[in-house]
Amino acid sequence: MSIYVLYMESMYCIYLYPVAMDCIGFWHVFYISQENTYTF
C-alpha cells in the first residue's frame, strides 16, 4: 500500500506541479495524516 501511495502521489505531483519534491513531501504528510485518521 505504501509503495502504491508513493507512486500515485509522485505521478500526481509531477503532472500538476513543476516542483515535484515539495509537492511529494506535502502529499506524503497528507497521506500519513489520512492513514492515522481513517482505516483503508
Q: Please give the tally of structural domains in the chain.
A: 1
- In the numeric block, the cell 497528507 is attached to 30
**CA trace torsion 17, 35, 29, 31 (10° rounding):** 0
Q: For residue 23, give its domain range.
A: 2-37
Q: pLDDT by residue (tens digit) across 1-40? A: 456 666 666 666 555 555 545 555 666 666 656 665 544 4
pLDDT score for 20? 47
pLDDT score for 24? 57
pLDDT score for 39? 43
Give 17's contacts (C-beta < 8 A, 6+ positions apart).
23
DSSP state of 1: -
